[in-house]
Structure 1
Amino acid sequence: MGVSSAPCSWRITTLGSVVELTYGKSLPAKVRDGELFPVFGSNGEVGKHSSPLVKTPGLIIGRKGSFGEVHISENPFFPIDTTYYVDKFYGQPIRYWFYQLRYLPLNQLNRATAIPGLNREDAYSQEIALPPLAEQKVIADKLDTLLAQVENTKARLERIPQILKRFRQSVLAAAVSGRLTEEWRGKSEYKSLDLGLEKSGEVIFCPEDWQMTTLTEACKVISGNAFKSNEFTDVGATPAIKISNVQYGSFEKKNQQYLPREYLTTYKRFEVLPGDLLMALTRPITNDTLKVCRYPISEAVGLLNQRVAKFVFHNERQKEFFELLFQSNYFKLQVYDKLSETLQPNLSPVNLKKFIISLPSGNEQTEIVRRVDQLFAHADRIEQQVNSALTRVNNLTQSILAKAFRGELTKQWRKDNPDLISGENSAEALLKSIKAERARSASMKRRS
């Protein structure tokens, strides 16, 4: 942890010689009254209570569960029994110790086999380099400034994925409404699209020369077969394609079951080929996203189970266009409109086949797919860069802490202030003072 490279004016010691970790106290959720003072668990604030256990600011360290996590309370607080707390700092700045404890590898000290936890003696044995008191204050101030900049940068980066999500939604909306290819098409006349909605009066517009048709006229819609439960096996060569497999843009092998190989001949109409486009018909839409995905190229030919639909298109270009269209606002409006109002909302294949579709020419479909791919690829590149930047920012916090506790952030300050790190202001004197104060406190406790 860089202790050996600490400045010679710092004192090498252990955490237990400077800090006392006190056990938190049980406070069940049903007892917390939601008033005034924060209640802390191992992973942060978990509620409020009208009376604090600790009547001063302090630090909270996870003892069980999210062990080793460090939190700070600037006000009186109540640490529960999954935590340790620190409330005595002997004149040292609380924020310095907040950062010092965050830097120590407390979350790597688990030796429990059942419930992960931080043993207090393991924490106490951690070596630290103790700076003089004045230098602690300078380090804490510098870290406040630097890490606030890091957090601001991180917050800005974390907003970008949401911006990109809205960008992709805008691209999709422009693609299926004809706006994306308006200049390419050379026509800007639009007509209203009558979706026959019963639950919404929303008006949708599409280019005048796009063909208005139904889904079943544009492609073949096949809904799955109701195979009996005793026909499934946990191992086999022919995967049964169920609603649990069809997720948001991805196929997931959840508790995969199989059907006999000979069923591929008997139920050929329901075969699912690699690359087929699938849609879940039970709870098909959540968070305004439709459960549509491609059956992976790497998978064996499967069989379509009930409550899943697959689509057969005239060509690959049309399949790619419909993959976009299924996430369009006007298609999702029809899904919402026709969902059964039950605990498990279902979309009837009969209703699905009647959905209204606005189709551009084959050439325009190709151009739409090309433009969307290009814009999405650009968004994907930005997202990859953002994720890389976030990784670097997250590493930067630990790097800054390492520099602080090696004395690198205050190197010039020490040169400029030799009187504040020597004699009665030295780390040696501070450590003696802390030990004396702790001894007095222990003696008073014994007498009482």
Structure 2
Amino acid sequence: MMSADFPQCWLRVLLNDVGEIVTGKTPSTKNPDNFGGSIPFIKPADLDNGGYVTRTADTLTDAGAKLVPTIPANSIPVTCIGNLGKVGITNQISATNQQINTIVPSSQVDYRFFYYQLQTLKPWMQENASATTVTIINKGKFSKAPVTLPPLAEQKVIADKLDTLLAQVENTKARLERIPQILKRFRQSVLAAAVSGRLTEEWRATQGTSLDSWQQTTFQKICREITVGFVGRMANRYEESGVPFLRSQNVRAFRYSDKNLLYISPAFHQEIYKSRLEPGDLAIVRSGAPGTTCVIPKSLGAANCSDLVIARPSSNLLPEFGCIFMNSEVARKNVSDNQVGVAQQHFNVGSMKKMPIHLPPVDEQSEIVRRVDQLFAHADRIEQQVNNALARVNNLTQSILAKAFRGELTEQWRKDNPELISGENSAEALLERIKAERAASKPAKKTRQKRTTA
């Protein structure tokens, strides 16, 4: 039978009922002899990927480990300061820093079962954390975390099922996470085909033209103007609203981003009108991600900028084709080869003017833009489907864990194996064995003998 949230043959216990809680500590960093040995020193970042902690950024020497609490293999460290609830499993004697509390499970329980159960503890930890600037669950509170205790045989069955199911989930997640990189390569191959003429090879045949109609030229010859965004101090020039003022972070490949967009006054815009942006301009990043290009949309209206190269296409260059070219590997290599500066390299107006381009006739540029838009839209749809699938997969892990700790994964197993969840095999009997083990492991109290007088 099932109670409200777990089977009646299970017990609700506290975390310190099923193991010892150990709070980590950092040995003195002033003594280099404490670090660089073979003993893993676990910090929160080492638990980012969950599972067995096979590698840590820092290690301790034997001397360093003697100064701090150590934990055996198959212990479960949990982050309890800051980013709460990250969980792992040790595979050898280890130590942790003070941001981590570790449960060293009793030998009477299956440590994998509690590793998985502690992955569901984050909401409880967030709810019970101390209300300070940095969230904290101290050892006392962590020790009182509520957990379920099924019979040992059922713990093993649940852990085995979760090993299998969650490995399948992780494999699916890994495959999905590879797809964006595949799509990135696909987009670059589309751009390479677009600027080389391969993308419209069949189209040219239908039009009775050839690649000979393409013109080898430079951007200086096909732009009305190439200039640079405002260069100067801006500390007191920004306004709450007014004329949009773009910086490099507002230019993404093929699109303008209004994230962290700043504004200047109309008067200052007129004062630095040379660095204005007009609809159809190519905005090209100078430093950081040099060469990244977007077309300024009509919807932006009057705008200005800094740290951007501005290319204003003539009638021989469609802005959208110029954007395709500038975001291709051909242009990116040219940008990389022609950066200037010592402290911080950047792409400048002179290099942009000299940028070579194999330019198709305008009608073919238009066909290239249409085909690239179509192929990119297809890639975008796939990427959105992948992101949706990833969100479902991420939710699936918590869904499977929730079912496991409500007893739903083993409902039929309990019906088939009543002898393994009752009597000496019951959760109650298991809890008594854990208590007996703990009592036996406690050092005997020393008694002082009374002095006798002669």
When the two structures are superposed, what TM-score results if normalisation uses the length of structure 2? 0.84
- Per-residue deviation, residues 323-377 of structure 1 (Å, max 9, x unmatched): 1100122212221222115121122312211211111111211111111111111
User: How far did 1:244 drift?
Assistant: 5.0
Match of 1:303 in 2: 304
Query: Percent of pairs identical after alignment?
Result: 42
Q: What's the secondary structure of 2:58's corresponding residue? A: strand
Q: What's the secondary structure of 1:20's corresponding residue? A: strand
One-letter amino acid of the counterpart of residue 219, structure 1 = C
User: How far did 1:257 drift?
Assistant: 5.1
One-letter amino acid of the counterpart of residue 404, structure 2 = A
Relative to 1, partners in 2 of residues 1:230 and 1:381: Cα closer, same or farther, differing over 3 Å?
closer
Match of 1:85 in 2: 102
Take 1:377 and 1:269, find their aligned partners in 2: how far apart are those partners? 35
Match of 2:257 among 251, 259, 262: 251
Match of 2:88 in 1: 71
Please say if residues 282 and 322 of structure 2, whose CA atoms lie closer than 8 Å, have aligned partners that are also in contact: no
Please say if residues 284 and 347 of structure 1, whose CA atoms lie closer than 8 Å, have aligned partners that are also in contact: no
One-letter amino acid of the counterpart of residue 84, structure 2 = F
Asked if 1:367 is matched to 2:386, the reply is no
- Per-residue deviation, residues 248-273 of structure 1 (Å, max 9, x unmatched): 54435547352x42355555443223
User: How far did 1:159 drift?
Assistant: 0.7
Match of 2:217 among 213, 225, 231: 213
Please say if residues 69 and 107 of structure 1, whose CA atoms lie closer than 8 Å, have aligned partners that are also in contact: no
Q: What's the secondary structure of 2:41's corresponding residue? A: strand
Match of 1:280 in 2: 285
Please say if residues 39 and 78 of structure 1, whose CA atoms lie closer than 8 Å, have aligned partners that are also in contact: yes
Match of 2:53 in 1: none
- Per-residue deviation, residues 78-137 of structure 1 (Å, max 9, x unmatched): 222211112232321111110111122354232231222223343333333311011111
Relative to 1, partners in 2 of residues 1:225 and 1:212: Cα closer, same or farther, differing over 3 Å?
same
Relative to 1, partners in 2 of residues 1:54 and 1:3: Cα closer, same or farther, differing over 3 Å?
farther
What is the aligned residue count?
425
One-letter amino acid of the counterpart of residue 262, structure 1 = A
Match of 1:319 in 2: 319
Match of 1:35 among 34, 37, 45: 37
Take 1:80 and 1:10, find their aligned partners in 2: how far apart are those partners? 34
Take 1:62 and 1:282, find their aligned partners in 2: how far apart are those partners? 38
What is the correspondence of 1:23-422 to structure 2 with a 5 Å cutoff?
A: 23-27=23-27, 33-43=35-45, 44=47, 45-51=56-62, 53-105=70-122, 106-108=124-126, 109-186=128-205, 207-220=211-224, 221-227=226-232, 229=234, 232-235=237-240, 237-243=242-248, 245-248=250-253, 249-252=255-258, 254=260, 256=262, 258=264, 260-265=265-270, 267-274=272-279, 276-285=281-290, 290-295=291-296, 298-305=299-306, 307-314=307-314, 318-422=318-422
Please say if residues 275 and 295 of structure 1, whose CA atoms lie closer than 8 Å, have aligned partners that are also in contact: yes
Structure 1, unaligned runs of 5 or more: 191-205
Relative to 1, partners in 2 of residues 1:298 and 1:368: Cα closer, same or farther, differing over 3 Å?
closer
Please say if residues 317 and 366 of structure 1, whose CA atoms lie closer than 8 Å, have aligned partners that are also in contact: no
Q: What's the secondary structure of 2:358's corresponding residue? A: strand
User: How far did 1:170 drift?
Assistant: 0.7
Relative to 1, partners in 2 of residues 1:208 and 1:55: Cα closer, same or farther, differing over 3 Å?
same
When the two structures are superposed, what TM-score results if normalisation uses the length of structure 1? 0.85
RMSD over aligned CA atoms reads 3.0
Match of 2:450 in 1: none
Higher mean alpha-carbon deviation, 158-167 vs 31-40, is at 31-40
Please say if residues 229 and 276 of structure 2, whose CA atoms lie closer than 8 Å, have aligned partners that are also in contact: no
What is the correspondence of 1:417-432 to structure 2 with a 5 Å cutoff?
A: 417-432=417-432
Higher mean alpha-carbon deviation, 393-402 vs 66-75, is at 66-75
Take 1:54 and 1:320, find their aligned partners in 2: how far apart are those partners? 61
Q: What's the secondary structure of 2:357's corresponding residue? A: strand
Higher mean alpha-carbon deviation, 131-140 vs 433-442, is at 433-442
One-letter amino acid of the counterpart of residue 292, structure 2 = K
Match of 1:193 in 2: none
- Per-residue deviation, residues 168-198 of structure 1 (Å, max 9, x unmatched): 11111111111111111129xx9xxxxxxxx
User: How far did 1:308 drift?
Assistant: 1.9
- Per-residue deviation, residues 33-61 of structure 1 (Å, max 9, x unmatched): 44333221123233333445224331111
Take 1:356 and 1:414, find their aligned partners in 2: how far apart are those partners? 74
Relative to 1, partners in 2 of residues 1:297 and 1:17: Cα closer, same or farther, differing over 3 Å?
farther
One-letter amino acid of the counterpart of residue 171, structure 1 = V
One-letter amino acid of the counterpart of residue 114, structure 2 = W
